[in-house]
Structure 1
Amino acid sequence: MTVTREAVIEKLSTIKGPDLKGDIVSLGLVSEIFIADGKVFFSITVPAERAKELEPLREAAERAVKELPGVANAVVALTAEREGGGMGAAPPPRPQQPLRSSPPPQARAPQARPAAKAGVPGVESIIAVASGKGGVGKSTTAVNLALGLKALGLKVGILDADIYGPSMPRLLGIKGKPEMVDSRTIRPMEAYGVHVMSIGFLVEEETPMIWRGPMVMSALRQMLRDVAWPQLDVMVVDMPPGTGDAQLTMAQQVPLAGAVIVSTPQDLALIDARRGLNMFNRVEVPVLGIVENMSYFLAPDTGKRYDIFGSGGAKAEAERLGVTFLGEVPLTIDVRESSDAGTPVVVSDPDGAQARTYRAIAEKVLEKLQTQGAAGRQAPKIVFE
């Protein structure tokens, strides 16, 4: 049976609003509802200061939707941001002052250092692979880095945090849907001995994820907390490009052991790479190093080298910033072909030059983790002014 938006709205109309006044639909608290492959996604708007108190309201709405025939799962978030296109009655007036995540400096009382954020059970270290812009080969780098770490004897998982453009199902050739462990927990998929979770497993490849920030953050939290991850030495997180909600959510939710920045050599990409690097510095996540991807092109017929995007830009930038240069990865046809085929080059051609490069990068990343002891690092508290 196919679940409909109307059926979801009717079911949510039975959920009482805050303080048992009205229902969450007629009060205009429910965002637009997104349905894909039996999965239902929406958010409920509540006052920011009451979010913790109203968590049972979110759980009640989630349970109610899951009871509908045809619903395989539901992702429900609480948000203080007014979503466009809400249903039912007009929403309450917006406050004159914007919502703040912390009081202004003059009103902020002295605070003790925040408690360490809880890690993901069974996962020793979590590293983010990020880029300031798209199109630089970040996901390909992430998957081959993960497989390089596995080749070093580590137990490795991959979290695909790129909600809008999930790549892991294609890069790893994984088909099918994850199995449910219980009513709230799903089992990650597996390929080449690596455990993987991606929103791409839950929706069709062509389905656009037209979500606002709160829904993205809720999905990331669930993929971290509601997945039965096994014992892992390292979880590699493939971040979306840029410096937005996903990056901040990861920094707030888990103690990141560090970040790997991926860039191509040209100045335009390096400008964005600097933004990504500075963002991690701002939230006190150590940068493990920079990878220069598509560093040069080797012609398959002549072996001649072409510096299509320039040469050595990321290496020079790493030296200027005092950051470890992890290595340069050439642009080759076999990397593209193996990625499209779902057989990353580290496993499809383990003795090739590209696989050796990725394993060398993995060795440097592991060395950085061991040197700085970052696995037990305390996560930062992010304050927006």
Structure 2
Amino acid sequence: MGRMSSAPATTIEQAVHAALSTVDDPEIRRPITDLGMVESVVVDGTHAAIRILLTIAGCPLKDTLRNDVTAAAQTVEGIESVSVDFGTMTDTQRRTLQESLRGGGGGEPVIPFSQPGSRTRVFAVASGKGGVGKSSVTVNLAAALSAKGLSVGVVDADIYGHSVPRMLGAADARPTAVEDMIMPPQAHGVKVISIGMFTKGNAAVVWRGPMLHRALQQFLADVYWGELDVLLLDLPPGTGDIAISVAQLLPGAELLVVTTPQTAAAEVAERAGAIAMQTHQRLAGVVENMSWLETPDGSRMEVFGAGGGAQVSEALSRRLGHQVPLLGQIPLEPALREAGDAGVPLVLTAPESAAAAALRGVADRLAVRRESLAGKSLGLSPRRG
């Protein structure tokens, strides 16, 4: 709680305003002072009356913002009590904010991850067939990478079979918008967007290829992702329209192939990975899921056979002419399914379990950040002949 002070009100008001610069908007994750959200600060004695402008009326995180603003203001010497009043930005203010977040210009939205200066690593998580646990792998990798301190986003690109929001505990979350820019919800520190956030109930999505392409384009360009270290895309099974769209919209994306040990699944996964030959994308590696079930006596029961992940890794390495590593083998654990149903990834609920440890191992191998050499001096000089 603040202490009594004889400092002029204007000085204290400036101090309160400075303190508010430590408060981030819960959705945009930028200081509210930078976003033009602090309309006024009025100090009367030991009381500070603060008016905050929300991007939209009825902001779902209003209470969080009120608590954060109050706590920040009370750190100022001389402030004993705080009242927070909310207003709403005008259309002009929202457009100004939108242009500021997009870097000015106000032109057609671009996909930041496809720009030459982007330092975000993009992983498209693919599988040849459904039922191999691709989405479970995606959300656990996202949570594990976020727990390592990285800024992570997930695009649920499986338009027909979207399940990522449920597995991340964001099934009821709804994005908000600043003009035509979408603010993605966050769950467990991960920003996430899915077509399921725009449909009513459990409605089916019945779209043809062009609509799928446009939806993916909007998820990438119209959503405000901020500065991400890693973006994961949960692709639909197979090599259809979305896989082609990813190659077109995100040519620098790396493919991560998920399979099970079963030979039939491995053969299909190999075809999914081989699309990289046609799209000229890099293959980050292979993840084998449901590798074995550990019995109470400590032995392993290979429910789906063995060797599928290694088979895919070796086959793709031969096809592409470079090493495609087997990044990890994830044991079959009921807790992994239970955690997904509960909306809290296993790497957070039971980090020491065998499956969580294996998933964190894969995340560790993916977390290496590539630095662009564009515009950097390499310290080299041409040799004179």
Equivalent of 1:217 in 213, 227, 233:
213
Match of 2:314 in 1: 319
Structure 1 Cα separation of the partners of residues 338 and 113 of structure 2: 40
Equivalent of 1:304 in 283, 293, 299:
299
How far 1:356 moved relative to its partner? 1.4
Structure 2: gaps of 5 or more residues: 1-111, 318-323, 375-385
- Residue 341, structure 1, aligned to residue 342, structure 2: yes
Q: Work out which structure has the larger RCO, using CA pairs closer than 8 Å and 6 or more positions apart in sequence.
A: 1
Identical pairs, percent: 41
Match of 2:257 in 1: 261
Are the aligned partners of 2:155 and 2:193 in contact in 1 as well (CA < 8 Å)? yes
Kindly report which structure 2 residues correspond to 1:33-182, keeping only aligned pairs within 5 A, or say none. Answer: 118-119=114-115, 124-182=120-178
Structure 1 Cα separation of the partners of residues 227 and 113 of structure 2: 19
With the length of structure 2 as denominator, give the TM-score of the two structures.
0.63
Indicate the SS of the match to 1:331: coil
How far 1:353 moved relative to its partner? 2.0
Indicate the SS of the match to 1:159: strand
Structure 2 Cα separation of the partners of residues 226 and 156 of structure 1: 17
Structure 2 counterpart of 1:223, one-letter code: F
Structure 2 Cα separation of the partners of residues 168 and 309 of structure 1: 24
Which stretch shows the higher mean deviation, 323-332 or 205-214? 205-214
Are the aligned partners of 1:122 and 1:229 in contact in 2 as well (CA < 8 Å)? no
Indicate the SS of the match to 2:229: strand
Instruction: List, as ranges, runs of 4+ consecutive aligned residues in structure 1 with deviation greater than 4 Å.
Output: 120-123, 373-376
Structure 2 Cα separation of the partners of residues 215 and 224 of structure 1: 14
Structure 2 Cα separation of the partners of residues 148 and 162 of structure 1: 21
Structure 2 Cα separation of the partners of residues 177 and 283 of structure 1: 34
Structure 1 counterpart of 2:335, one-letter code: D
Structure 2 Cα separation of the partners of residues 334 and 212 of structure 1: 36
Q: Deviations over 1:127-177 (max 9, x none)?
A: 111001111000001111112222332111111100001111110111434
Between Structure 1 and Structure 2, how many residues are aligned? 257
Structure 2 Cα separation of the partners of residues 197 and 246 of structure 1: 16
Structure 2 Cα separation of the partners of residues 374 and 145 of structure 1: 24
Indicate the SS of the match to 1:165: coil
Structure whose alpha-carbon radius of gyration is higher? 2
Which stretch shows the higher mean deviation, 333-342 or 116-125? 116-125
Structure 2 Cα separation of the partners of residues 123 and 199 of structure 1: 26
CA shift in 2, pair 1:360/1:117, >3 Å = closer
Structure 1 counterpart of 2:334, one-letter code: I
How far 1:278 moved relative to its partner? 0.7
Indicate the SS of the match to 2:122: strand
How far 1:316 moved relative to its partner? 3.3
Match of 2:198 in 1: 202
Structure 2 Cα separation of the partners of residues 302 and 348 of structure 1: 24
Indicate the SS of the match to 2:230: strand
CA shift in 2, pair 1:359/1:196, >3 Å = same
Structure 2 counterpart of 1:306, one-letter code: M
Structure 2 counterpart of 1:195, one-letter code: K
Indicate the SS of the match to 2:238: coil
Structure 1: gaps of 5 or more residues: 1-115, 377-385
CA shift in 2, pair 1:375/1:143, >3 Å = farther
CA shift in 2, pair 1:357/1:311, >3 Å = same
Match of 1:330 in 2: 331
Structure 2 Cα separation of the partners of residues 175 and 263 of structure 1: 26
Structure 1 Cα separation of the partners of residues 118 and 225 of structure 2: 7
Match of 2:95 in 1: none
CA shift in 2, pair 1:344/1:286, >3 Å = same
Are the aligned partners of 1:190 and 1:196 in contact in 2 as well (CA < 8 Å)? yes
Match of 1:32 in 2: none
Indicate the SS of the match to 1:295: coil
CA shift in 2, pair 1:280/1:375, >3 Å = farther
Match of 2:222 in 1: 226
Structure 2 counterpart of 1:344, one-letter code: P
Structure 1 counterpart of 2:136, one-letter code: T
Are the aligned partners of 2:121 and 2:229 in contact in 1 as well (CA < 8 Å)? yes
Q: Deviations over 1:1-36 (max 9, x none)?
A: xxxxxxxxxxxxxxxxxxxxxxxxxxxxxxxxxxxx
CA shift in 2, pair 1:159/1:205, >3 Å = same
Structure 1 Cα separation of the partners of residues 192 and 126 of structure 2: 17
With the length of structure 1 as denominator, give the TM-score of the two structures.
0.63
Are the aligned partners of 1:250 and 1:256 in contact in 2 as well (CA < 8 Å)? no
Structure 2 Cα separation of the partners of residues 375 and 137 of structure 1: 36
CA shift in 2, pair 1:179/1:134, >3 Å = closer
Match of 1:353 in 2: 354
Match of 1:283 in 2: 279
Indicate the SS of the match to 2:352: coil
Q: Deviations over 1:265-285 (max 9, x none)?
A: 111101111111111221011
Are the aligned partners of 2:184 and 2:223 in contact in 1 as well (CA < 8 Å)? yes
- Residue 272, structure 1, aligned to residue 273, structure 2: no
How far 1:125 moved relative to its partner? 1.9
Are the aligned partners of 2:175 and 2:197 in contact in 1 as well (CA < 8 Å)? no
Structure 1 Cα separation of the partners of residues 336 and 118 of structure 2: 32
